[in-house]
Amino acid sequence: MGAGWEVDGRATRPLRITLDALLQPVVSKRFPLGLPAAVTTPSRDLPPLAGAQGYIMLELDFEKGNGLLPAIAQDYRTGKVLMLAYINPLAWGETLRTGEAHYWSRSRQELWHKGASSGHIQRIKAVYADCDNDAVIFVVEQVGGAACHTGYESCFHRKVENDGSVTIVGERIFDPKEVYR
Amino acid sequence: MGAGWEVDGRATRPLRITLDALLQPVVSKRFPLGLPAAVTTPSRDLPPLAGAQGYIMLELDFEKGNGLLPAIAQDYRTGKVLMLAYINPLAWGETLRTGEAHYWSRSRQELWHKGASSGHIQRIKAVYADCDNDAVIFVVEQVGGAACHTGYESCFHRKVENDGSVTIVGERIFDPKEVYR
């Protein structure tokens, strides 16, 4: 097993697969990542950290979204949702490999290493996948304190009332004109 | 302005539009919801709760996602991300109108009133829109305590390590066989 990402100085270690994991559906893959693809049947008596065999390896389902799926970035301290962007297999692989959030820019049609230009990278603290493998959460440390290109901590800084009216919540952390020159 | 949704018994009220709101891009709409569409220019001296005029009305951008955009459901007490699903203009309108989360089921191609069959509805506590109007957060009270059809509190109950291995986190709240008969 991998060493896991550092969280507060302690390396996270994968837990044992529980029996519940056996109940998870296995999604066929058309976008292999170079990660071990085989799903073997875990034994109830596997020791922790027994190695890749016996553990379920994740295969995300990129097909439903035409090669993309949404990734939610969430602050590792506050739980605040910072942004939502999209990943393709390349962005997913680069995120796992580097420990820094990578997305696929739909507007630019290119790999987007978040923070590459602003310095406001997102250090991965944990990653979660949803029950049908078509959405993920990146739990991150947001360098610079703001994920939004407008300078707000969160891209979700506009509160919508039930009549559709909008109010701004939160404060600007940085001035975009100073960061993106 | 609308009365807002109830949060802990207190009605939420829209704050004043700040000057920052003027900097938000206005997205053209092709999917009007019957909500006021005009964006007027707020005065700096508008009193709070001055009425719809002077407030920015949200127009979500459904075009980028071919008529759909992602909605993140987040627990109003814990901040835990419970699930991600999709909305179309109908689901968005029904969510605002009823105060209960509605999505668009991509698999069934129909309006999905979350919890209609299980009773596990999601009561809207707040709604946020992101900076480019193509993703929203529903902050909800999850009736029954579990959002996932597998019985877990969150659909994101599988932690992914950096080698792609998966471990289950969290406990089942209900037995799906008991809830979905």
With respect to residue A86, please indicate whether it lies within any of the assigned structural domains. yes
Average pLDDT of the segment spanning A15-34: 37
Q: Cβ of B130 and A83 within 8 Å? A: yes
In which residue are the tokens 């019985």 written? B151
Contacts with B70 from chain A: Cβ below 8 Å: 70, 84, 135
pLDDT of A58 reads 87
With respect to residue A1, please indicate whether it lies within any of the assigned structural domains. no
- CA A76 to CA A70: how far, in whole Å? 18
A180, burial (CB in 10 Å: exposed 0-12, middle 13-18, buried 19+):
exposed
Which H or E element spans position A110? strand A110-113
Q: Residue A60 is part of a domain; what is its CATH number? A: 3.10.20.810
* Structural domain count, chain A: 1
Nearest to B90 by CA among B174, B19, B32: B32
Contacts with B83 from chain A: Cβ below 8 Å: 130
d(CA B1, nearest CA chain A) in Å: 7
Full-model pTM: 0.74
Contacts with B167 from chain A: Cβ below 8 Å: 14-17, 21, 55
Contacts with A169 from chain B: Cβ below 8 Å: 15, 128
Contacts with A167 from chain B: Cβ below 8 Å: 14-17, 21, 55
With respect to residue B96, please indicate whether it lies within any of the assigned structural domains. yes
List beta partners, residue B168: B158
- A 126-155: CB under 8 A from B: 126-132, 135-137, 148-150, 152, 155
pLDDT of A12 reads 44
Name the more confident of B180 and A60: A60
Radius of gyration of chain A (CA): 18
Decide: B111 and B135 in contact? Cβ < 8 Å.
Answer: no
CB-side neighbour CA atoms (13 Å) of A148: 25
Decide: A70 and A84 in contact? Cβ < 8 Å.
Answer: yes
pLDDT of B120 reads 95
User: A134: which DSSP letter?
Assistant: S
Judge whether residue A137 has pLDDT over 70: yes
pLDDT of A134 reads 97
State the amino acid at position B123 in one-letter form.
Answer: R
With respect to residue B1, please indicate whether it lies within any of the assigned structural domains. no
- CA B144 to CA B151: how far, in whole Å? 10
Give the domain extent around A101. 6-179
Decide: B135 and B145 in contact? Cβ < 8 Å.
Answer: no
Other beta carbons within 10 Å of B39:
17
Nearest to B79 by CA among A76, A78, A71: A78
- B 106-125: CB under 8 A from A: 106, 124
pLDDT of A10 reads 47
Provide φ and ψ at B3, rounded to 5°. -75, -15
Radius of gyration of chain B (CA): 18
Would you state the structure tokens that stand for residue A25, as one six-digit string? 């559906």
Categorize the per-residue pLDDT at B42 as very low, low, confident or very high, splitting at 50, 70 and 90. Answer: very low
Per-residue pLDDT reduced to its tens digit, B57-92: 889 999 999 999 999 999 999 999 999 999 999 999
Judge whether residue B44 has pLDDT over 80: no
- CA A11 to CA A103: how far, in whole Å? 24
Judge whether residue B180 has pLDDT over 90: no
Per-residue pLDDT reduced to its tens digit, B138-151: 999 999 999 999 99
- CA A149 to CA A2: how far, in whole Å? 33
Categorize the per-residue pLDDT at A181 as very low, low, confident or very high, splitting at 50, 70 and 90. Answer: low
Would you state the structure tokens that stand for residue A68, as one six-digit string? 């993309």
Instruction: Indicate the residue of B18, B64, B124 with minimum beta-carbon distance to A106.
Output: B64
d(CA A144, nearest CA chain B) in Å: 18
With respect to residue B112, please indicate whether it lies within any of the assigned structural domains. yes
Quote ipTM for the complex: 0.74
With respect to residue A127, please indicate whether it lies within any of the assigned structural domains. yes
Instruction: Indicate the residue of B58, B70, B159 with minimum beta-carbon distance to A128.
Output: B159
Contacts with A97 from chain B: Cβ below 8 Å: 162
